[in-house]
């Protein structure tokens, strides 16, 4: 038998015996060799149990067995049923469950398991039920259903629980069988055995969970006192909370159904029930102070408990309550202050963050002194939570910014990882932005931090801020030394960022320009070409007033053009006597030319321009989407009076892949019209579609739209794309939305693929296409701005509209942010589309143009709490008040 002893240890390692596993060094091959012991005529029960233990260990460590190995082990294990040793039989049950034999192998053990299920030994009965229900299919379950029903109400609680737990698992695969046990399960709920009652209640609720009335009746009957098991009572409290959420409050008395039951559970003798009831009360939607008071009182008592688990549960619940009802938790502050020094740092962290949410202005200084000693004892993940709470406290009491800013700067100089330091820097940046008086002290703290900062990202972020805000302070010259130190001491990326920050001081403040030029000239001999190039450009710019005037806005101001468009224009510019003109660069962000799937394209030469626009959404080389579509649509006389094309969407597929006909649609939006362009391809070689191939649209679900024109395709030979158009009139300046049902109608003629000849007679046919929708983002074009702050301040504040929205429970902020941006159809600016991992709050800047060439900007703020409830604040400014209102309507109706 292979050795499972740990390797020899050095003398100084003897005290670490507990670190070694008794299974250290075992190998699958050696254990499979040992499994031959199962075949011995005289079974050694102890040795067999050891081998099964090793096999189970390997399986649970992720070791994989081939099908042959699994089969060999399974058949060997089945021979152990002849042993009467109880301990070995239990190991056999576990092994069969883990191996999960295939359907043709199950029959080998079925008879043995059924024999055990009728055994007089309760241990055999319970385990055989679990195994049978795990490995058998619905057919066999029908045969043993009678035994399972009897087991549910068995006098032995072990057997009864085994049957109930098996029912919970079977409900996922064979619900019809389990639902027939309702009477027996209902009887088991009245059992005196705590575990049986718990499992029975769980199974009964799962059977009825899709029937709200049945669940309500279940809760009504059980809340009268028939449940005695603490575990079952915790379950019942959860089910009661669910019923309360789905029930309406009594409008006359203001009473909540079943609230008396929850309040009664607050006085239960078992701690787990009391905590569950308190948590349920605090999570009631629209909970009032009167309803909260008894729950808070109970939780306050647990804060002084001798059991760490009770203290943790209480302070965690109070922490959640403090997010929505901080005043209700204030009475517990004295008890929570004593928890700051708790040995369990999780408890201490929750106590600190709760106090920061509920404390008043007079307690801030005292709290900061307590937190200072506390911070050095906790991990970075807890420190980040504390930092975020301090940031919220500072925004709540802005006059205390000095105390809180000093605390943030002190912990910024301590040891810590990137995420921790980034959380502190982000907090300081937010405080600088939101509290004007904190700007200068915050900048000084950040300057001191970059003197010894090991993170390039944070250094460049701070240098960028210094370049923007430093020249606006009362004494800008004091920041130059900090910035120039980065040119001397840091890596190339930070040096380049520092050069740009220095140049901004020289650009903004004439008195400092000579000093800045001297420092920039010293960078001419830097080892990195990026640093040298930046220094050369800025020196030439700052040294000549004429050049400075020309390039001031280009280098440091608001370009007001998308960088992608500028890059494309520069690449296509040919050097000549005519200088590059920035005004020629398009301000409109080009839509992405992505298609979910491609339709077949023609292999034939000689395509006209309409065909080149492409059935699959691809564009001719060297052309942009707006120009291409504008040229195509202007070639149709009926569309000439529609005015300027505002936006064209990406192609939307209206057919499944590999179908008889491939059709996708492009939406062209004008001020008063919308044109649907249908790109159609016949993919059947044996058919010719002709006699006005057209798309018939049912617009009954789009009341604002009136069809004014349609253009058909004369014929669709095999694999030659064609285009049909349908135009609708809509109200001007209105964000009209609607759904359109589409049907492709045509005349089919059969074609001989070998000769290409078509038959004389054909038949009329039609093909149902997917629905097409016009949505709010179709009226917004992504147009980014390079300096969002300047663009925001340039818009009239009177046209600003701000509102807050509750988005309900979401998995994370990243998905929520992407969903909101998709709904609005706007362009994230200044890198605000990047969220930190596991971020609990985020602010993004969005820009775009509304139909009618109306600029619109959005400040989007998201936050998520511990229950994954997401709240959103939306501030909108536009050149027209109605557009600001329209953006909010888009979100409200989403």
**Could you read off the pLDDT of 146-205 as tens digits, one per residue?**
888 888 888 899 999 999 998 888 888 888 888 888 889 889 988 888 899 999 999 999
Q: Round to whole Å and give the CA distance between 858 and 887.
A: 9
pLDDT at 609 over 60: no
Q: Which pair of structure tokens corresponds to residue 838?
A: 């596991």
Max CA pair span of the chain: 104
Please give the share of the chain, as a percent, with pLDDT higher than 70: 88
Q: Round to whole Å and give the CA distance between 392 and 354.
A: 12
Confidence of residue 613 (pLDDT cuts 50, 70, 90): very low
Question: For residue 790, which phi and psi values (nearest 5 degrees)?
Answer: -65, -40
Nearest Cα residue to 541 out of 570, 578, 516, 577: 516
- 453-483: pLDDT as tens digits: 888 998 999 998 888 888 888 888 888 888 9
pLDDT at 319 over 80: yes
Q: Round to whole Å and give the CA distance between 594 and 881.
A: 34
**Sequence-ordered list of residues with C-beta below 8 angstroms from that of 126, at least 6 positions apart, any chain:** 156, 158, 159, 161, 162
193 or 392, greater pLDDT: 193
Asked if residues 235 and 222 have their Cβ atoms less than 8 Å apart, the reply is: no
- 695-749: pLDDT as tens digits: 999 888 888 888 888 888 888 888 888 889 999 998 886 778 888 999 988 888 8
pLDDT at 767 over 90: no
pLDDT at 507 over 70: yes
pLDDT of residue 557: 56
Please give the share of the chain, as a percent, with pLDDT higher than 90: 10
pLDDT of residue 2: 40
Q: Round to whole Å and give the CA distance between 193 and 230.
A: 11
pTM of whole model > 0.85?
no
pLDDT of residue 629: 79
What is the average pLDDT across 366-370? 75
What is the average pLDDT across 591-596? 39
**Sequence-ordered list of residues with C-beta below 8 angstroms from that of 46, at least 6 positions apart, any chain:** none
In DSSP terms, 772 is beta-bridged to 740
DSSP for 800-869, please give it: -EEEEEEEEE-S-HHHHHHHHHHHHT-EE-TTTTPPPTT-SEEEEEEEEEETTTEEEEEEEEEEE-TT-E
pLDDT of residue 554: 55
What is the average pLDDT across 584-590? 65
What is the average pLDDT across 755-765? 77
pLDDT of residue 610: 41
Q: Does domain 470-557 have CATH number 1.25.10?
A: yes
pLDDT of residue 249: 55
Domain 778-892, CATH: 3.30.310.10
Residues of the chain with CATH 3.30.310.10: 778-892
pLDDT at 599 over 60: no
What is the average pLDDT across 791-814? 83
User: In angstroms, what CA-CA distances link 753 with 593, 684, 688, 747, 750?
Assistant: 34, 10, 11, 18, 9
3-12, 90-99, 540-549, range with the lowest pLDDT: 3-12
What is the chain's percent helix, strand, coil content, to nearest 5? Answer: 55, 15, 30
184-188, 276-280, 534-538, 584-588, range with the lowest pLDDT: 584-588
pLDDT of residue 604: 34
Average pLDDT across the chain, whole number: 81
Residues of the chain with CATH 1.25.10: 470-557
Residues of the chain with CATH 2.60.40.1480: 609-774
pLDDT at 889 over 50: yes
For strand 647-648 and strand 687-701, is the pairing parallel, antiparallel, or unpaired? unpaired
pLDDT of residue 605: 33
pLDDT of residue 884: 85
Confidence of residue 555 (pLDDT cuts 50, 70, 90): low
3-state SS of 627-646 is HHHHHHHHCCHHHHHHCCCC
Domain 609-774, CATH: 2.60.40.1480
Q: Which pair of structure tokens corresponds to residue 866?
A: 């511990």
Q: Round to whole Å and give the CA distance between 282 and 287.
A: 7
What is the average pLDDT across 278-303? 88
pLDDT of residue 141: 76
- 303-313: pLDDT as tens digits: 988 999 999 99
Confidence of residue 757 (pLDDT cuts 50, 70, 90): confident
- 17-69: pLDDT as tens digits: 445 667 777 888 888 888 888 888 888 889 999 999 999 988 888 888 888 88
CA torsion 118→120→124→130, rounded to 10°?
40
């Amino acid at each position: 038998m292979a050795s499972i002893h740990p390797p020899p240890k050095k003398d100084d390692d003897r005290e670490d015996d507990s670190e070694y596993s008794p299974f250290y060094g075992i190998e699958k091959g050696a254990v499979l060799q040992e499994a031959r012991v199962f075949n011995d005529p005289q079974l050694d029960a102890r040795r067999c149990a050891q081998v099964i233990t090793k096999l189970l260990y390997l399986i649970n460590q992720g070791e994989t067995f081939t099908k042959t190995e699994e089969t060999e082990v399974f058949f060997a294990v089945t021979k152990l049923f002849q042993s009467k040793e109880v301990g070995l039989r239990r190991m056999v049950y576990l092994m069969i469950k883990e191996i999960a034999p295939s359907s043709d192998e199950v029959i080998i053990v079925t008879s043995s398991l059924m024999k055990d299920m009728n055994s007089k030994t309760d241990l055999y009965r319970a385990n055989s039920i679990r195994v049978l229900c795990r490995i058998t299919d619905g057919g066999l379950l029908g045969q043993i259903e009678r035994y399972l029903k009897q087991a549910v109400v068995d006098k032995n609680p072990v057997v009864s629980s085994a049957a109930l737990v098996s029912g919970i698992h079977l409900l996922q695969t064979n619900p019809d069988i389990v639902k027939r046990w309702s009477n027996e399960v209902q009887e088991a709920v009245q059992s005196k055995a705590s575990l049986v009652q718990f499992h029975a209640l769980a199974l009964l609720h799962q059977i009825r969970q899709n029937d709200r009335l049945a669940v309500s009746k279940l809760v009504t009957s059980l809340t009268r006192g028939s449940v005695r098991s603490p575990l079952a009572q915790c379950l019942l409290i959860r089910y009661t909370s669910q019923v309360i959420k789905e029930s309406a409050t009594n409008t006359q008395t203001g009473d909540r159904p079943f609230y008396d039951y929850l309040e009664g559970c607050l006085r239960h003798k078992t701690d787990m029930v009391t905590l569950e009831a308190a948590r349920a009360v605090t999570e009631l939607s629209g909970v009032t102070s009167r309803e909260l008071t008894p729950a808070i009182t109970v939780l306050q008592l647990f804060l002084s408990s001798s059991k760490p688990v009770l203290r943790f549960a209480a302070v965690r619940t109070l922490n959640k309550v403090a997010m929505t009802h901080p005043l209700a938790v204030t009475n517990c502050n004295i008890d929570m202050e004593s928890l700051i020094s708790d040995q369990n740092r999780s408890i201490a962290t929750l106590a600190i963050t709760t106090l920061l949410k509920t404390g008043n202005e007079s307690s801030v200084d005292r709290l900061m002194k307590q937190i200072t000693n506390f911070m050095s004892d906790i991990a970075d993940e807890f420190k980040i939570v504390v930092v975020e709470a301090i940031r919220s406290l500072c925004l709540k009491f802005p006059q205390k910014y000095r105390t809180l800013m000093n605390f943030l700067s002190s912990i910024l100089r301590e040891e810590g990882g990137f995420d921790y330091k980034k959380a502190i820097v982000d907090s300081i940046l937010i405080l600088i932005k939101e509290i004007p008086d904190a700007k200068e002290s915050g900048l000084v703290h950040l300057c001191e931090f970059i003197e010894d900062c090991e993170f390039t990202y944070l250094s460049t972020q701070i240098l960028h801020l210094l370049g923007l805000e430093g020249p606006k302070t009362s004494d800008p010259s004091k920041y130059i030394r900090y910035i120039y130190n980065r040119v001397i001491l840091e890596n190339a990326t930070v040096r380049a960022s520092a050069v740009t920050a220095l140049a901004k001081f020289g650009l903004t403040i004439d008195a400092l320009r000579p000093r800045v030029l001297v420092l920039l000239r010293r960078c001419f001999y830097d080892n990195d070409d990026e640093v040298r190039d930046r220094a050369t450009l800025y020196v030439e710019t700052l040294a000549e007033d004429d050049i400075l005037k020309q390039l001031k806005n280009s280098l440091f101001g608001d370009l007001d053009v998308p960088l992608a468009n500028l890059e494309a224009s520069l690449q296509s510019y040919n050097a000549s006597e005519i200088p590059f003109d920035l005004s020629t660069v398009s301000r409109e962000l080009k839509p992405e030319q992505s298609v979910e799937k491609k339709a077949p394209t023609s292999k034939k030469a000689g395509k006209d321009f309409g065909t080149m626009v492409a059935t699959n959404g691809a564009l001719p080389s060297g052309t942009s989407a707006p120009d291409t579509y504008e040229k195509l649509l202007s070639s149709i006389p009926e569309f000439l009076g529609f005015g300027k094309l505002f936006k064209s969407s990406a192609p939307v597929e209206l057919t499944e892949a590999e179908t008889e006909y491939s059709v996708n649609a492009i939406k062209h939006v004008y001020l008063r019209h919308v044109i649907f362009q249908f790109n159609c391809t016949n993919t059947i070689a044996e058919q010719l579609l002709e006699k006005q191939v057209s798309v018939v649209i049912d617009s009954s679900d789009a009341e604002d739209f009136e069809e004014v024109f349609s253009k058909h395709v004369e014929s669709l030979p095999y694999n030659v794309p064609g285009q049909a158009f349908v135009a609708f009139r809509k109200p001007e300046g209105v964000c009209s939305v609607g759904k359109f049902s589409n049907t492709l109608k045509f005349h089919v003629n059969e074609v001989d693929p070998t000769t290409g000849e078509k038959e004389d007679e054909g038949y009329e046919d039609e093909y149902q296409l997917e629905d097409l929708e016009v949505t709010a983002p179709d009226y917004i074009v992504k147009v980014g701005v390079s300096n969002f702050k300047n663009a925001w301040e340039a818009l009239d504040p009177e046209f600003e509209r701000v509102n807050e929205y509750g988005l309900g429970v979401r998995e994370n902020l990243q998905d929520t942010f992407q969903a909101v941006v998709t709904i609005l159809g706007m362009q994230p600016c200044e890198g605000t589309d990047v969220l930190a991992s596991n971020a609990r709050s985020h602010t993004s800047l969005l820009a775009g143009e509304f139909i009618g060439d109306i600029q619109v900007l959005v400040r989007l703020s998201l936050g998520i709490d511990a229950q994954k409830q997401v709240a959103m604040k939306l501030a909108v400014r536009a050149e027209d008040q109605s557009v600001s209102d329209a953006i909010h309507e888009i979100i409200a109706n989403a």
